[in-house]
């Protein structure tokens, strides 16, 4: 049996389902999860952030969980890795949650992380720096993309 690609989904992708600029790709990604061609992975941080979101976004998240999403904890190991990203000045403490998303995805050994956060996550220079810290700490590099880069509309 073919192993599904495990995709860590941050909060921006779920909210992107309702954003005119991003909804085409976010909704298609959710469709891929629904039909089982990709395996969604979310963290307890995603759940905490969604709890503060509008009801429509919470409904999309609930549907994602209903599609066999894997829910991963925020481990001490992930917190330590996130703190190392901050110590290397990749992100400032104001964006610690973004560092935690990347660290949880790294520790969970997902195949990729998807996000619409182009300033702090899906950013070429930052991805290189996150992966430098990952390698320094003994972890594999993480693949980071926007949903637009993952979705193939030619299917």
| pLDDT per residue as tens digits for the range 15-55 | 999 999 999 999 999 999 999 999 999 999 999 999 999 99
| pLDDT per residue as tens digits for the range 60-112 | 999 999 988 999 999 999 999 999 999 999 999 999 999 999 999 999 999 99
Eight-state DSSP code of residue 133: H
> Is the entire prediction scored with pTM above 0.75?
yes
Which CATH superfamily does the domain covering 5-150 fall into? 5'-nuclease (3.40.50.1010)
Long-range pairs for 67-71 at CB < 8 Å and ≥24 separation? 67/30, 67/33, 67/34, 67/36, 67/40, 68/36, 68/39, 68/40, 69/9, 69/33, 69/39, 69/40, 69/41, 69/42, 70/6, 70/39, 70/40, 70/41, 70/42, 70/108, 71/42, 71/43, 71/44, 71/47
Antiparallel, parallel or unpaired: β 5-9 and 144-145: unpaired
CA distance 60 to 30: 9
Supply the pLDDT for residue 4.
87
Instruction: Read off the pLDDT band of 154 (50, 70, 90).
Output: very low
The answer for residues whose C-beta is within 8 angstroms of residue 128's C-beta and 6 or more apart is none
Instruction: Read off the pLDDT band of 155 (50, 70, 90).
Output: very low
């Amino acid at each position: 049996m073919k192993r599904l690609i495990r995709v860590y989904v941050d909060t921006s992708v779920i909210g992107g389902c309702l954003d005119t600029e991003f909804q085409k790709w976010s909704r298609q990604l959710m469709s891929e999860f629904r039909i089982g061609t990709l395996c969604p992975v979310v963290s307890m941080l995603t759940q905490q952030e969604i709890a503060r979101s509008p009801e429509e976004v919470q409904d999309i998240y609930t549907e994602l969980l209903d599609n066999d999403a894997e829910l991963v904890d925020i481990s001490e190991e992930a917190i330590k890795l996130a703190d190392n990203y901050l110590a290397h000045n990749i992100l400032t403490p104001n964006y610690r949650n973004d560092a935690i998303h990347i660290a949880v995805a790294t520790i969970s050994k997902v195949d990729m992380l998807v996000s619409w956060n182009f300033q702090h996550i899906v950013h070429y220079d930052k991805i290189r720096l996150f992966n430098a810290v990952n390698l320094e700490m003994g972890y594999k590099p993480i693949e980071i993309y926007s949903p637009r880069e993952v979705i193939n509309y030619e299917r």
